[in-house]
Structure 1
Amino acid sequence: MTLSNFQTVEIFVKNEKLNDLKILHLSDLHINKKTTISQLKELVFLCNNLIFDFVVITGDIIDTKVKFIKEKLQILNELKGVVYYISGNHDLFYGLEDLKKELFNFIFMDNNCKEFIYKNETIFLAGLPDRFSKFFKIKREEKQIENYLKNEPSIFLAHQPKDYKIALNSNSTLFLCGHTHGGQIYPFHYLVKLVQPFLAGLFYKQNTAIYVNKGIGTWGINFRYKANAEITIVKLITKIVE
């Protein structure tokens, strides 16, 4: 887990209601037995000293059974403000229900819709379970979420970039995701690009801004090359997207 790569990304959106909204976007923590308590305390300390309106975590919080990392997960509940999260494939595999019990201070967004007020305006937020959910007999309410996101302005959360078409079909203002680790180890980037439409960073499609977070943790090998970990403040700025 690398915590040194904090950045602010400015995203231009058409809807003036979202101007200057700041979202702390975290993804792919992959907390496991080797993750230390001090690393997680450092993460929370760093995040709590940033200025943002709310937090989103776009999946893969865990990378081992919850029973082995309960004390570590409880540290995440100390993140300040409102924290929204959705499942990743690793969360499903290692025990999503157990994870939800430990993250008692977070708002679970799988097949969920929420409204929040920003500068006296209503913002619509929705999320979906990871695409692997079908293997765990968890239904993805895609049509329901897509219809909800047609409200303006809306923000869509999902784990994999592949779900960008749902954001486009609903004309969602912003789509936040993770999963790719930015390739994690070059040249693995090229293999990821074969199965995902976006590798990392910011993209614009139609009226939707898409941001793919490279994540904090690692998978398989605890090593990154040409794919730095990231802790990102997504700052929305009103501007016509060409």
Structure 2
Amino acid sequence: MRFVPRLALFLAIPALLFAAPWWLLVYTATSGPLLWIGSAIFLLGYACLPVTMLLGHGRTQSDAAAVVGDALLGIGWVLFTWSVLGALARAVLIVAGVSDPLRSRVVAITVLVIAAALIGWGAVEARRVPRIRNVTVPIAGLGAGFDGLRLVVITDTHYGPLNRLRWSERMVAAVNAQDPEIVCHAGDLADGSVARRRAQVDPLGKVEAALGRFYITGNHEYYGDAPGWIEHMAGLGWQPLHNEHRVLERGGDRLVIAGIDDPTGVALPGHGPDLPAALSGAAGLPVVLLAHQPKQIADSVKAGVALQISGHTHGGQIWPFHYLVRLDQPVVAGLSRHGSTHLYTSRGTGFWGPPLRVFAPSEITVLTLRA
């Protein structure tokens, strides 16, 4: 019986996603054979979504099912969003005195065209090499030896069911073209085991950075094999920061690069964020901290961290999901200041689940540190 509420929710969400667009696009705007054909299509989508999500992301871990389920989820979300907006527009037309069937058909066609355009555009945005975003960050106490340091951030690559080996190679080339001195991966490297995803991840071994390449775990590593990914990234020449730090020296000045685990790591013995351990021995030095989730900023402020680098939010990934993300995180994207601590939240370099990005472009971030 304890699984009944979860099962009900698991079935209710797809029902809501497909019911709203069915009502607007099919029920109010069609009749005869079109009504039956449209209803059958939406009923098939509703039936397939929970099944493919369960097969793709449950114990079976079927990549083919995950691809279908993720695509249906993304398409359903876009159709649902714009159908809700379409229903509001339909209400306005009712007040304006526009009668049916013209009213319903105009709204349905408009919503369908907008949704189709956004799904096509979002698919291109998700699969493209991320744009380069340049941001200058002032760092209190930064010595002259590190003034102007170029730190490149990638995060949330989410290598998964869709084979993105070629994308991975092109992304690495784009990173190296920025001539970085430091490269950081802020977590959510891949979805799945090392054995299944290593081919997509291995191009990261060709990232070039004179002062080091640093990696932390995100929440998705802990849904799979976090220790395995930590070991694999170390084998590729990256330095995993498992509640620890490194001190960089140049021109007589020192800078700390630290990293902490994602909060979901507490379920695994020996894991989970431990900021005091990560900063032990770093007192008095400027600290750049990798912490996957922006909401970890509260502890960073208390510890006097100069800059926290995070990901996790994907910038919402598919508009208007960022409003829901904001309920859980203090920042969705960009540079923000919290007391004396700066926080940079990346929109992410890849995507999770639905292969779409709508009004939330991916990014490769070049942070230039200034004294």
TM over 0.5: yes
Cα distance in 2 for partners of 1:118, 1:207 equals 24
Q: Deviations over 1:106-129 (max 9, x none)?
A: 100021121111333111121111
> Which amino acid in the other structure matches residue 218 of structure 2?
G
Task: Work out which of the two has the higher radius of gyration on C-alpha atoms and give 1 or 2.
Answer: 2
* Other-structure match for 1:165: 298
Q: Deviations over 1:191-223 (max 9, x none)?
A: 100010111000012211110011111112111
> Which amino acid in the other structure matches residue 154 of structure 2?
L
SS in 2 for 1:69: helix
Deviation at 1:145, TM superposition (A): 2.8
Cα distance in 1 for partners of 2:305, 2:297 equals 10
| Cα contact 1:2–1:216 (8 A) shared by 2 | no
* Other-structure match for 2:138: 12
SS in 1 for 2:199: helix
| Cα contact 2:264–2:272 (8 A) shared by 1 | no
* Other-structure match for 1:189: 322
CA RMSD of aligned residues (A): 1.6
Superposed, 1:48-127 pairs within 5 Å as: 48-81=176-209, 82-103=212-233, 104=235, 105-127=237-259
Deviation at 1:148, TM superposition (A): 4.7
What is the count of residue pairs matched by the alignment? 238
| Cα contact 1:181–1:227 (8 A) shared by 2 | yes
Cα distance in 2 for partners of 1:206, 1:158 equals 17
| Cα contact 1:185–1:227 (8 A) shared by 2 | yes
Q: TM-score, normalised by structure 1?
A: 0.92
* Other-structure match for 1:224: 357
SS in 2 for 1:77: helix
Check 1:55–1:212 CA distance in 2 against 1; reply closer, same or farther (3 A cut): same
| Cα contact 1:133–1:139 (8 A) shared by 2 | yes
Cα distance in 1 for partners of 2:279, 2:301 equals 9
Superposed, 1:205-220 pairs within 5 Å as: 205-220=338-353
SS in 1 for 2:258: strand
> Which amino acid in the other structure matches residue 140 of structure 1?
P
Cα distance in 2 for partners of 1:191, 1:149 equals 36
Q: TM-score, normalised by structure 2?
A: 0.61
Deviation at 1:64, TM superposition (A): 2.0
Which runs of no fewer than 5 residues in structure 2 stay unpaired? 1-126
| Cα contact 1:29–1:216 (8 A) shared by 2 | yes
2:169 counterpart of 1:41: yes
As a proportion of its length, which structure holds more strand? 1
| Cα contact 2:130–2:171 (8 A) shared by 1 | no
> Which amino acid in the other structure matches residue 345 of structure 2?
V
Check 1:216–1:4 CA distance in 2 against 1; reply closer, same or farther (3 A cut): closer
Which runs of no fewer than 5 residues in structure 1 stay unpaired? none
Deviation at 1:141, TM superposition (A): 2.1
Deviation at 1:139, TM superposition (A): 4.0
Cα distance in 2 for partners of 1:142, 1:4 equals 31
Picking from 248, 260, 265, the partner of 1:133 is: 265
SS in 2 for 1:194: coil
| Cα contact 1:146–1:166 (8 A) shared by 2 | no
Identity of aligned residues (%): 26
The structure, 1 or 2, with the larger RCO (C-alpha pairs under 8 Å, 6+ apart) is 1
> Which amino acid in the other structure matches residue 124 of structure 1?
V
As a proportion of its length, which structure holds more helix? 2
Cα distance in 2 for partners of 1:150, 1:190 equals 37
